[in-house]
Amino acid sequence: MSSDKDDVKDAATEEPVVDTVNDAIDDDPSLEDEGVPVATDEELAEAEKKLAGGGSDGGGGDVPGDSDESSEEDDDSEPDEEEGHMSLLDHLGELRIRLTRSFIAVAVGMIACYGFADKMFNILMEPMIKVFQERSAENPILPQAFYDNFSALLTDLMGEKGLPTDQVKLFVDTLQTSLMQIAQEGHFQYTYPAEAFFSHIKISIVAGLFLVSPYVFAQIWGFIAPGLYSHERKWMIPMAVISALFFTAGGMFGYFVVFPFGFEFFASFSTGGIQFTPKLNEYLSFCLKLLFAFGFVFELPLFIFFLARMGMVSSSGLRKKRKYAILIGFIMAAVLTPPDPFTQCLMAGPLIILYELGIWVAYFFGKKEKRHLQKQAEEEAARQAEMDEAAKEGEESEPDEEASKA
């Protein structure tokens, strides 16, 4: 009896060995002539543990297929992660592409505007020249009566000599204008030989930037778009156009409103012993800095609109932080404008007004407003009531069906 049991045990223990040997022989033909196992049970168990843990020191023949399947699963899961998230390098690459496109657009705009650089230069100089002319008319070096008497006297003398007198008035007016320009400055100066040329280049660049500003803002919003929902991305083009309009409106406000008052204030300090003769490069830098600063400041309502639509700010919260906004407005005006209190006030005032406008924008379009939240609560309550009514009707219909069946 014991021998029969031992034979059964030996047969049971020998079958796995034979299968293991056959598998090893199938994987490695060089072992066909060997009639012994290629590894012990302990070594096989250790190899299985290594394979289960990801090791590949002594891989068998059946396991590579499993590893291929796992690698295919990993490859399938990677695109989903890449579609949902962007790595830091992806963001930097996207930023590089957007900046490159913006620089190319500005270069194209500069080339297009360079042909009109002379006209734009005169337009940019016009506010200060008007201030010079007004001050010259208010404080002439010679009274107007002198020019009238001089014109009459010259006309009489030339008439006695038989000379034509039709050009006398033109001569006197030209003399008056020339003396006014000499006495009251009325011109700009530059000391570096290429300064006037580079001034035209700067003006062309700024004009080109304003010209292609819709495309530049489209690139900016395109960089922000991956962080938005799909229904919010459809507003990218309108937001880019509106951003360009606000930016241009800020520059025009600085040119037509701030420049006349600012230059009149600065020129009022010139006296008989102090002459105001602005340097071309400094005047141009001053003007361009103000144009960019006001263009940037006028983007504040649009920025508040964007934050309000995302639910990050509300009109009540903006009202509570009004005093901090006023302080920040004066700090921004001090940073963006030249270091003088008058220009800072000229920028801080519109900035505060734009902040108040942003409060109303948040009130009408914000997601966290009380009236919007109340409306959402009413809609949810109506939907819940409909669901409850449908459930009640279903409960009432069940007994009727049971009764009909009975």
Consecutive 10-residue averages of pLDDT for the chain (406 residues)? 47 45 47 51 71 49 43 41 63 89 94 91 87 71 76 83 80 76 62 86 92 91 78 78 90 89 80 75 88 89 84 85 89 78 83 90 78 69 78 70 64
What is the structure's pLDDT at 182?
57
Half-sphere exposure of 163 (CA within 13 A, CB side): 9
The SS3 call for residue 320 is helix
Gap between the Cα atoms of 385 and 389, Å rounded: 6
What is the structure's pLDDT at 267?
79
Mutual orientation of helices 259-267 and 280-297 as an angle, nearest 10°? 140
Gap between the Cα atoms of 111 and 212, Å rounded: 12
Residues 6+ apart with CB under 8 A from 197: none
The SS3 call for residue 189 is strand
Residues 6+ apart with CB under 8 A from 350: 253, 294, 297, 298
Q: Report yes or no: 108 and 208 within 8 Å, Cβ to Cβ.
A: yes
What's the one-letter identity of residue 268?
S
What is the structure's pLDDT at 13?
46
Tokens of 106: 């500005």
Write down the residue that tokens 């009149």 correspond to.
264
What is the structure's pLDDT at 28?
47
DSSP, res 367: S
Q: Report yes or no: 246 and 280 within 8 Å, Cβ to Cβ.
A: no
Tens of pLDDT, residue by residue over 146-178, are: 778 888 888 888 888 777 878 888 888 887 777
What is the structure's pLDDT at 9?
45
Phi, psi angles (nearest 5°) of residue 56: -145, 35
What is the structure's pLDDT at 380?
77
What is the structure's pLDDT at 334?
82
